[in-house]
Chain A
Amino acid sequence: MPVPLESKSLKKIYRNKGRSTTAINDFTFSVKEKGVFSLLGRNGSGKTTFVKVSTTQLTPDDGYVRVFGKDVVEDEKELRHMISLVPQESRPFPHMTPYEHVYYFQKMNGKAREESKERAESVIGLLGMHDFARTECVNLSGGQKQLTMVAMALSLDTQIYFLDEPTIGLDIITRKGVWNAINKYRDAGKTILLTTHYLDEAAFLSDEIGIVSHGNFIKQGTLDELRSGLEYDTRVAMRGRVDHRAFEPYGKVHSDERGTVLFTSQEYVEKILSDSSVRKERIEIGPIGLDDVFISLVGEDIEVDEN
């Protein structure tokens, strides 16, 4: 049984008016089990390019991508029966309603009228879009339009769904609705390749996470595996003024005007609490999160925006 997704020494260079940009230098990884795989990386790290190659929009300059054993170049025709896509920053037709989008997209793909209607109704229901399903998209909010694109992609019955930042601009409740839908598809044996900048989303949804940086695939694993790859396992956040030298023996300390974060190991926690000059109610202790993993793998010295 071929694996859901396999990329080997993939390289992709954009050539525009004499300038060339290496968007993907080397992506070598595979998604071995069905389920949700999230591709994380900073802006410009090559995620969208990878999605475009995987959905037969762009051809590799070197290496290959295979989806369930089908090569994106050699078997492109067969492959297109197996994939479905939400492109990054795609938008619906202004003069059509979300319902019409799904309905006509079904018909466009050869489905009969009744079946198209049923699919449209069920996807609209699944994503909780009833309230605005029959409003022209020109009159919808950004998030509602985004949801329309997700609805179209999910309406296809394919084996793998490529969702390139599908939840961008959605409020937290709507996002959870999309997570719900993604989970349902996963439980139904589908594979979802997701890109997102919301790390809570990736942590919540993913069976496995892949991290890319500057066109290179650098690491993959479950959240726990990624965490255990780091030197520390615990995050101690302290609000207010802290003498951060006091914590240096326990691990890595990072301070800014909002407070201090100490990355340390579980074994020191009690000591820190008993030693601490900081009031207990100002300390928050927890396992390190995906944010910490992400920053340590791709970010070292960058300022990370709160949002």
Chain B
Amino acid sequence: MIRELYRTITSLTAMNGFIPLWRRPIALIAVISTPFSFLFFIYLFGGPSKILIGAIGGVLFTIVNASTMLQTDLLFYKLDLKFQQVVASTPINPLAYMFGLATGNIVFTLPGLAIFMAIIVYESHIGTLQILSVIGTLATTWVIFSMFSFLVSTRVREMRDIWPISVMFSIIFGVVPPIYYSISALPGPVQYVAYVVPTTWAAILLKGIVIQDFAGVALPALVFVIEMLCVLAFTSRFSDWRLNRS
């Protein structure tokens, strides 16, 4: 059972990650360039002291953006290739399908993530435990947004609808949340949105871990995990990867 699941996930990872990356390495540039341009501007306007926060933002944005863009891949496989129909008529588990493709998707971001992580570790001198906590936070972020993408993809009926939708989510999830600044800097109503978006909690958590404020991370960690569970429950309840409602 576990072995079969492993095979399902790794083969989808190859199909959506290693194989296209191997044959089209140029795709890397697109994935890495946006967060690095953020880092560049932050360095430019904030100076060297801001480089840590820039790297934290970069690593988070990379994950959020890649997982949100997963919507496009999922839709392409579902609507254009009709591959999802082929898979949905086999015993393959929908979540295994989603995680396999999501893992493949993250393969493209690994070089960028590695560089950001190196900057974070170098700038903050954090130890193994914090490094693991950072990775754990990023992994949870990835799970949340990948599942959300899956949910969205099972609901959208037309390929052309997904471009505006994924760009919108990418902004709400990746740009609005206070990664580079404090939440109080946002205008009133936007603050409420920011408090709901998981990226905000991920950002607060990451900053807390890196500056070693362990008391300060307890609440955000709790909220974050609850959000993950909600998204999980929501996805299993409302995603419909067969064609009934799409």
Contacts and interface: CB of A to CB of B under 8 A. Distances in A.
Interface of A: 16, 52, 55-59, 77, 80-81, 83-93, 95-96, 100, 104-105, 107-112, 136, 149, 152-153, 156, 162
Interface residues of B, number: 31
B185 interface: no
B86 A152 contact: yes
Nearest to B9: A108
A150 to B, nearest CB: 11
Given A83-B89, A87-B86, A89-B82, 13 more contacts: A57-B244, A59-B244, A90-B86, A96-B15, A104-B11, A104-B12, A104-B14, A108-B12, A108-B87, A108-B90, A108-B100, A109-B92, A110-B4
A84 B89 contact: yes
Given A57-B242, A87-B82, A100 B92 contact: no
A85 B19 contact: no
B85 interface: yes
Given A87-B82, A87-B86, A104-B14, A77 B19 contact: no
18 contacts: A56-B242, A57-B85, A57-B243, A80-B89, A80-B91, A84-B90, A87-B85, A87-B86, A92-B81, A93-B15, A95-B20, A96-B15, A104-B12, A107-B11, A108-B12, A136-B23, A149-B86, A162-B89
Interface string B1-22: 0011001101110110001100
Interface in B190-246: 242-244
Contacts of A84: 89-90
Interface of B is mostly: helix
B242 A58 contact: yes
B186 interface: no
Nearest to A109: B90
B161 interface: no
A92 B19 CA distance: 14
Contacts of A112: 7
The majority secondary structure among interface residues of chain A is loop
Contacts of A93: 15, 77, 81, 83
B127 to A, nearest CB: 39
Contacts of A96: 15, 19
Q: Find the residue from B24, B82, B87 having the highest chain A CB count within 10 A.
A: B82
Nearest to A92: B81
B88 A95 contact: no
